Amino acid sequence: MVEIQSGNSNGSQDGDSFHPAPQWLTESYVETILRHHKQDGGLSIRNLNIKPATAKGDNYASIMTRIKVDYIPGGSTQCETEFFIVKTTYENDPFISNIFASYQASHTEMVMYDKILPQLTLLLEGTSQSEKLFAKTIHVDYEHSAIIFEDLAVLNYVLGDRLTGFDLEHTRLVLRKLAKMHACSSVLNERQPGLLPKLDHGIFNRHTRGFTPMFESLMGMAADFAGQCPELGKVYEDKLRGLQKHVMEYTEKVYDPQENEFNTLTHGDLWTNNIMLRKKTAHSELDLLLIDFQFSAWAPPAVDLFYFFYTSLVPEVRNSHLSALIQYYHKVLVDTLRELNFSGYIPTLRQLVLQLEKGKFMAVTACLTCQAIMLNEETKDADFNGLMVDDERGRNFRKSMYTNKRLQDIIIKWLPEFDRSGLLDLVEQN
């Protein structure tokens, strides 16, 4: 029996505000997948409950559906229950679909969950660094552009507070997991040369600039704020205006793999909402898992580190602990690389710090543009068109982001820091 529910997670039936489940997600489909996953041809489903998990406006590129499966294993009479998440692409809006297709977002994530993440997990198993980094993949369906993985909510994982950000303990845990992902990725690419550099369609890349209107407009809005802010003023406004037409180019350079330096498979969109947390209890330790790999790309680690640092930390941690956090990331990275017998280039801490400095424009982009989206509390026009389209509605929405007091305080703090490092100066063309 199949039960299809509308409504939200707290039981209300506001079906119009939620994306419907895919029509092909039937009992027969799920039974076939589960039989293969369990390697049990005699398994039979007794009940399938399908419930939308993505409210309209929650996600610009994908739809999440939660399924509960009651089944009887072959040769048994005892009913068992499991919970899964089905992630599918959002294709109702051609404008959105075409842009995300140009970034190969859905294909990248399917390859990650199907081919890459399981191999990274296997590499880490059996070492002293072994721990869970990602949700377990159940099935990847290339025909329907769908991924089925374990439902982390059942395991008591929740999203953090994007408006507050991570404290020091959570930040160190993110970096521990990230460093292990980075180390395993470099080892995997050493053992299978050329495998991971094929993933090269990050948010900034050398193939498409579909997000240009959004990033250039947000940099312009940041310039407007700087010009009107007594603590900043025209000097900063002019510098940001100068950067407006270069933000794509300068950030793309951060993503370019660096010859003779350390490169890895980056998460590519590492911020609060792409990290699931499990709180510490009397029966379990604090834990977190990385999710959402649509923009993973082979690149220097500066991509992940500065994107995360300048979008997802509480101000005190960002203001006072970055050097110590980079040192901690480096230690876990090196320990993992060595235990996995990596024979490639392993940077010293000093070498890593100097390499990261070359990619620090990522901090400018993350702080002034990405963070504006992530801290936004104005939900009325909070959709992809509001971010991308040059009309009155879109301009007003993007302008409203910079009225956010949290964002204003961060910009006032960090814009002078970026300026003193030369990050706001235009790069002369040779």
One-letter-per-residue 3-state SS of 226-257: HHHCCCCCHHHHHHHHHHHCCHHHHHHHHHCC
More confident residue, 59 or 50: 50
Q: What is the largest CA-CA distance in the chain?
A: 76
The continuous run of DSSP H or E covering 336 comes out as helix 322-339
pLDDT band at 381 (very low <50, low <70, confident <90, very high): confident
Query: What is the Cα 393 distance to its own chain's centre?
Result: 27
From CA 172, how far away is CA 8, in angstroms rounded? 33
**Does the structure show a pLDDT above 50 at 427?**
yes
pTM score, two decimals?
Answer: 0.93
The encoded tokens of residue 210 equal: 């579909």
Mean pLDDT over 380-397 rounds to: 87
What pLDDT is recorded for position 11?
40
Confidence bin at 103 (pLDDT 50/70/90): very high
Q: Calculate the average pLDDT of the chain.
A: 92
Q: Tell me the average pLDDT across 21-41.
A: 94
In what helix (H) or strand (E) does residue 66 lie, and over which residues does it extend? Answer: strand 62-72
Question: Quick check: 1 pLDDT over 80?
Answer: no
Q: Predicted confidence band at 60 (pLDDT cuts at 50, 70, 90)? A: low
Enumerate domains of the chain plus CATH numbers.
27-90 (2.30.30), 101-137+163-421 (3.90.1200)
The predicted model gives 77-93 an average pLDDT of 88
pLDDT band at 62 (very low <50, low <70, confident <90, very high): confident
pLDDT digits 0-9 by tens, 294-348: 999 999 999 999 999 999 999 999 999 999 999 999 999 999 999 999 999 999 9
As a whole number, mean pLDDT of residues 422-430 equals 86
Does the pLDDT value for residue 422 go beyond 80?
yes
How many Cβ atoms from other residues are within 10 Å of residue 204's Cβ? 26
Helix then strand then coil, in percent of the chain rounded to 5, is 50, 15, 35
Query: Could you give the percent of the chain with pLDDT greater than 90?
Result: 84
What is the rounded end-to-end Cα distance, in angstroms, of the chain? 68
CA neighbor of 139 nearest in space, from 229, 67, 46: 67
Chain centroid offset of residue 325 CA = 20
Mean pLDDT of 41-54: 92
| The predicted structure's pLDDT at residue 126 | 85
Mean pLDDT along residues 372-392: 86
Residue 200 pLDDT > 70:
yes
pLDDT band with cut points at 50, 70 and 90 for residue 231: very high
Phi, psi of 395 (to 5 degrees): -65, -40
Contacts 24+ apart (CB under 8 A), 12-16: 15/52
Instruction: Measure the CA–CA gap between 91 and 231, rounded to whole angstroms.
Output: 44
The rounded distance, in Å, linking the Cα atoms of 325 and 421 is 20
Number of H helices, E strands in the chain: 17, 11
| Residue 17 pLDDT level (bands cut at 50, 70, 90) | low
Q: What is the pLDDT of residue 15?
A: 47
Across residues 129-134, what is the average pLDDT? 96
Decide: helix, strand or coil at residue 88. Answer: strand
Tokens of 334: 């090196």
Average pLDDT over residues 259-281: 96
- 3-state class (DSSP) for residue 299: strand
Contact between residue 221 and residue 398 where contact means Cβ atoms under 8 Å apart = yes
